[in-house]
Amino acid sequence: MKKFIIDFSGDKKISIDEGQTILQASLSAGIRHYHSCGGNAQCSTCRILIHAGIENLSAYTQKEAALRQKMPFPRNMRLACQCYVTGDGVRVHRMIRDEVDIQMYIKEDTLPDLEYIGEEKELALFFLDIRNFTRFINFYMPFDVIHIMRRLFNLFRKVIEENNGRIIETAGDGFYAAFGFETTVEEAVNNAATAGFQILAEIDTFNAAYVYKHFLHNFQVGIGLHAGKVIIGNIGIGVNNNLTVMGVAVNIAARLQQATKDYNNSFIISNKAFDLLSTKPSHTSTSAKLKGIKEAINIHLIGMPYNLTTE
């Protein structure tokens, strides 16, 4: 009978026999592995997060497949009671370690939050800031300010979602979005670039047809776009349903958006993302030292200069 080694992060490495479930092996090794239903795929308390070696795990059993239809587990989460190891190099993490964990991950009102838990993926990161909103705030009443904000963010959200993106967080007069949750990073970058150019065009239309007509004002935005590996997860389970996307790539995208002021251009894209575009737009290329980023990176200015008279 073949034997393999499986690494339980935070616990220990153990030996597992071919044909033995991960739950059976962990219990035999003295790991306190929750399994409220006795290992029958009826409770999910034995769930594990796969950090490495997912290709060396068995396919879903009928019981696990049935449970996954009811509960939105990500691909890298398995039931230890239904999962077998077929090779070395598997590293896992027990999701349920105490009673608090059970409340966080098992309660029905938290199930919609579990689509992403600690997954690493390459995404397109998109940051946008409204350039001259402070001036508008200083001249108009609170109702007008909030009304225009709602109009603008409704426009932004519509465009982002039409291009298969997702707004992750809003802050003041800006937001950041991510593309590529269900696609390749190449498709994600192209979708994000399309969204950026569409927003720039629709802002111009909105200014001409509404804002200047009623408020004698024109809005401008700065957009930064980058692509890279990030960590995806829901950290506000039961409190906040927002998805969290974290990593150096997010910081670079944010700095690119901030650099739109320094380079007087409404849309800046990193060289990494630019190389993934199927059609290259008109651009000016340069090297930039971004705040908080150790190495200078090559960037491309693909937007338009600002009309500084409206700042």
Q: What is the pLDDT at residue 311?
A: 42
**Among the listed residues 250, 248, 251, 243, the one whose alpha carbon sits nearest the alpha carbon of residue 118:** 243
Size of the chain in residues: 311
Contact (Cβ atoms closer than 8 angstroms) between residue 301 and residue 284? yes
Q: What is the pLDDT of residue 42?
A: 83
CA–CA separation, 218 and 153 (whole Å) = 16
Q: Is the pLDDT of residue 238 over 50?
A: no
Q: What is the pLDDT of residue 142?
A: 87
Domain 119-310 in the same topology as domain 3-114:
no
31-40, 95-104, 109-118, 171-180 — which is least confidently predicted?
Answer: 109-118
41-62: per-residue pLDDT in tens? 888 889 898 999 999 999 999 9
User: What are the start-end ranges of the H helices in the chain?
Assistant: 22-28, 62-70, 99-106, 133-139, 142-162, 185-206, 212-215, 248-262, 271-274
Query: Tell me, what's the pLDDT at 214?
Result: 85
The residue among 133 and 149 whose pLDDT is bigger is: 149
pLDDT range class, residue 186, cuts 50, 70, 90: very high
Mean pLDDT is lowest, of 60-74, 81-95, 251-265, for: 60-74
pLDDT grade for 10, boundaries at 50, 70 and 90:
confident
The CATH class given to the 119-310 domain equals alpha beta
pLDDT over 70 (residue 163): yes
Q: For residue 177, what pLDDT is reported? A: 96
> Terminal CA-to-CA distance of the chain, rounded, Å?
74
Q: Where are the domains of the chain?
A: 3-114, 119-310
Q: What is the architecture of the domain spanning 3-114?
A: Roll (3.10)
pLDDT at residue 123, as a whole number: 97
pLDDT at 263 over 80: yes
Lowest-confidence pick of 48-57, 91-100, 103-112, 236-245: 103-112
Higher pLDDT, 15 or 70: 15
Confidence band (pLDDT; 50, 70, 90) for 219? very high
pTM confidence score: 0.70
307 pLDDT above the threshold of 90: no
